[in-house]
């Protein structure tokens, strides 16, 4: 009897031991420590720096739909660790080479239940943060399944400051809020009074990238990398006493499933960038490094560019229209546009487009975007219409043959616009024919749009179906050697490393919101720490006519920026696709300031963060990849300040001349937004500059080497 009791105790002990497992991993510089553990069969992780806890003990796993959850009863069957170092060169970017250096821990888990399902977790720890993902190997007991919810937690452990936008399945075009985690639900209720979206999630869910500032000064950015064949992630906050924890909240499909999986499969990476100051968030390349290398052997056809467009004149008061006539309820395959009465305000007409080509060519821009060129805009914003656009038929007043020949003569490429009206199936059917048309006329880049609710009904912009659609559109454009810029898109997750023809996307409030809903002056001081962490944004800066009285004497609207700040945004908000968004007549009034837009590159050798405080100010310096010229951009919030920067990033023993485009002392975004001063000054690596920034202002500097 005694022997049986001893054997039973030994069995219980061995069972508990097999369900308890721990392993630690240090970053290459030994400053960050990851701990992974199985606590009675439940997987957890923790992230620390020294004795400081960055992410407290946080649970991992899945709730499954119509199946037993995959979040407990695990034993560790195998684990492995290794180190990795490489230096790779992006096709374009903020620097010409990137170091990918991490230590990795891989653990193989298996249930101790009769199902014996397997789940692997892979952790990669960098000097500036952590990435981890779930991997489902081929296995007989787990082949097809639906996720009810991913149970990935981020235990923040304290009442940190958060920079956030509300959780939503269809839009990330919101004003950023700043609040403590304890006040976030109340702040959400206040913010939602100005939001007209029916797909907001709840008062506790925010979108990623989410920026957090802890009491000890450390910054955390929580996001995801390599989002493929999986719904996008938001975060739901819960509070227990003084403990604050976020859990993943995946976007559902029409049946309420949050991811349909077929093994073998791996999820996107869950990312935590962790740095002791704000500058580190901006310099991190963790998300890029977690994406697969470039899929293309030849990338000569991928060319970053500056462009202008038939665009902003559709947003200003008394401006142009996308539609050719004012008829409604048009069926595209039955309406005779040749007999239609034009409204006289259509923007994409041959005469206006050729004039725009002249201006863009004169000032040596690379491209011209044309919106509203194709039939279907008369009644496109309609949930019941799946075939509004065919993407190949131009309006009667848009002579595509003559316009294309003229642009070629002027050595200017045209950017085609494909607004899908949210009908993703219609666009997928028509992609090959539309891209063949672009190849025929030499259009190297397309801007796609997905305004409104998606079709089929019930699908969301951030669901698995739409995520896969974006990948298909990127891959299909690549087959035709075309570049793509996606608006109304899911948030970017570093996929431009794998697909460098994916130049940019919108996925946040851009300049268009300045025309119909105010952005805050601090908006562009937050975007680099949040939205841009995942990838470049087509923000469309460069507005010079900032007072709308010029278009409508009764207007009381001014943009939330000074003119000098508009110049600075070309450096602050990185993109390989930068637009000079304003109208030619407004640039002609300020050709001295326009010179900076003409000069500033879109591809960089090196990036230096000179000063940064999210929500307050940001100043960035970048070196042109083509030569040794440097460019500096600054953006500040609604408070005036003096920016003091050292130019120690310049090469020693060399001399430069700096052209400084700055706010006039009387400038103010709300009253005198267009007052600016241009100074010229000889500088070197020992120079310190003090520059006044008006409320809502900023500045831009071009620094060019001189032989004196």
CA distance 309 to 415: 9
Cβ atoms of 535 and 503 within 8 Å: the answer is no
CA distance 528 to 533: 6
Active site residue 512: yes
Cβ atoms of 685 and 655 within 8 Å: the answer is no
Rounded to 5°, angle at Cα 526 from 520 and 527: 100
> Hey, which residues does 48 pair with through a beta bridge?
33, 53
CA 54 to chain centre: 24
End-to-end CA distance of the chain: 98
Q: Which of 135, 512, 514, 611 is catalytic?
A: 512
CA distance 22 to 547: 61
> Who contacts 327 (Cβ-Cβ below 8 Å, separation ≥6)?
335, 340, 378, 379
The DSSP H or E segment spanning 569 is helix 563-572
CA distance 501 to 91: 9
Tokens matching residue 661: 């485009």
3-class SS of residue 487: coil
The DSSP H or E segment spanning 311 is none
* 452: alpha, beta or left? (left if phi > 0; alpha if psi -120 to 50): left
Residue indicated by tokens 């990669």: 124
Closest CA to 633 of 210, 116, 271, 282: 282
Catalytic residues: 512
């Amino acid at each position: 009897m005694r022997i049986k009791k001893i054997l039973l105790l030994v069995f219980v002990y061995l069972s508990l031991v097999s369900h308890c497992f721990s392993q630690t991993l240090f970053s290459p510089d030994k400053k960050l420590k990851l701990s992974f553990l199985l606590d009675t069969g439940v997987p957890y992780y923790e992230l620390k720096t020294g004795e400081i806890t960055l992410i407290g003990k946080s649970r991992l796993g899945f709730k499954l739909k119509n199946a037993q959850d995959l979040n407990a009863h695990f034993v560790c069957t195998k684990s492995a660790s290794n180190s990795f170092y490489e230096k790779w060169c992006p096709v374009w970017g903020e620097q010409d080479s990137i170091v990918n250096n991490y230590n990795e821990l891989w653990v193989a888990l298996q249930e101790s239940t009769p199902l014996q399902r397997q789940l692997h977790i892979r952790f990669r720890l960098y000097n500036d943060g952590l990435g981890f993902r779930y991997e489902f190997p081929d296995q007989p007991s787990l082949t097809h399944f639906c996720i009810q919810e991913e149970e990935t937690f981020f235990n923040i452990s304290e009442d940190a400051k958060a920079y956030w936008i509300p959780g939503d399945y269809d839009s990330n075009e919101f004003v950023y809020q700043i609040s403590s985690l304890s006040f976030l639900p109340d702040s959400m209720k206040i913010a939602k009074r100005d939001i007209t979206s029916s797909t907001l999630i709840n008062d506790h869910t925010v979108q990623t990238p989410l920026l957090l500032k802890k009491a000890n000064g450390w910054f955390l950015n929580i996001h995801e990398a390599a989002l493929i064949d999986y719904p996008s992630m938001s975060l739901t906050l819960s509070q227990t006493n003084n403990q604050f924890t976020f859990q993943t909240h995946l976007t559902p499909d029409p049946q309420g499933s949050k991811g349909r999986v077929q093994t073998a499969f791996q999820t996107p990476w869950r990312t935590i960038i962790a740095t002791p100051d704000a500058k580190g968030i901006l310099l991190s390349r963790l998300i890029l490094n977690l994406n697969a290398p470039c899929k293309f052997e030849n990338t000569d056809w991928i060319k970053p560019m500056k462009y202008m467009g038939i665009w902003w004149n559709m947003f200003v008061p008394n401006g142009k229209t996308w539609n050719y006539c004012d008829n409604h309820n048009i069926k595209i395959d039955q309406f005779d546009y040749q007999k239609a009465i034009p409204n006289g305000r259509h923007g994409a007409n041959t005469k206006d487009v050729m004039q725009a080509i002249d201006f863009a060519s004169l000032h040596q821009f690379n491209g011209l975007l044309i919106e509203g060129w194709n039939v279907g805009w008369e009644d496109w914003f309609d949930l019941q219409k799946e075939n509004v656009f065919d993407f190949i038929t131009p309006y009667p007043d848009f002579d595509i043959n003559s316009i294309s020949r003229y642009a070629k003569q002027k050595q200017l490429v045209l950017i085609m616009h494909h607004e899908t009206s949210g009908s993703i199936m219609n666009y997928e059917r028509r992609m090959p024919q539309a891209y063949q048309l672009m190849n025929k006329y030499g259009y190297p880049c397309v801007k796609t749009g997905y305004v409104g609710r998606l079709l089929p009904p019930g699908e969301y912009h951030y669901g698995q179906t739409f995520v896969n659609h974006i990948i298909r559109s990127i891959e299909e454009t690549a087959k035709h050697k075309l570049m793509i810029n996606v608006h109304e898109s899911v948030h970017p997750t570093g996929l431009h490393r794998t697909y460098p023809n994916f130049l940019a996307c919108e996925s946040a409030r851009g300049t268009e919101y300045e025309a119909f809903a105010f952005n805050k002056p601090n908006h562009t001081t937050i975007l680099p720490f949040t939205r841009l962490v995942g990838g470049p944004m087509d923000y469309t800066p460069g507005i010079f006519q900032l007072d709308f009285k010029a278009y409508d004497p009764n207007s009381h609207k001014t943009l939330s920026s000074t003119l000098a700040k508009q110049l600075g945004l070309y450096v602050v908000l990185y993109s390989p696709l930068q637009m000079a968004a304003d109208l030619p007549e407004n640039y002609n009034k300020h050709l001295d300031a326009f010179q900076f837009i003409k000069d500033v590159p879109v591809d960089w050798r090196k990036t230096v963060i000179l000063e940064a405080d999210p929500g307050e100010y940001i100043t960035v310096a970048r070196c042109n990849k083509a030569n040794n010229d440097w460019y500096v951009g600054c953006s500040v919030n609604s408070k005036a300040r003096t920016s003091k920067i050292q130019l120690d990033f310049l090469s020693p023993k060399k001399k430069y001349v700096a052209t400084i485009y700055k706010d006039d002392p009387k400038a103010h975004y709300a009253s005198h937004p267009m007052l600016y001063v241009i100074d010229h000054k000889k500088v070197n690596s020992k120079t310190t500059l003090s520059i006044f920034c008006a409320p809502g202002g900023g500045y831009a500097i071009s620094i060019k080497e001189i032989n004196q």
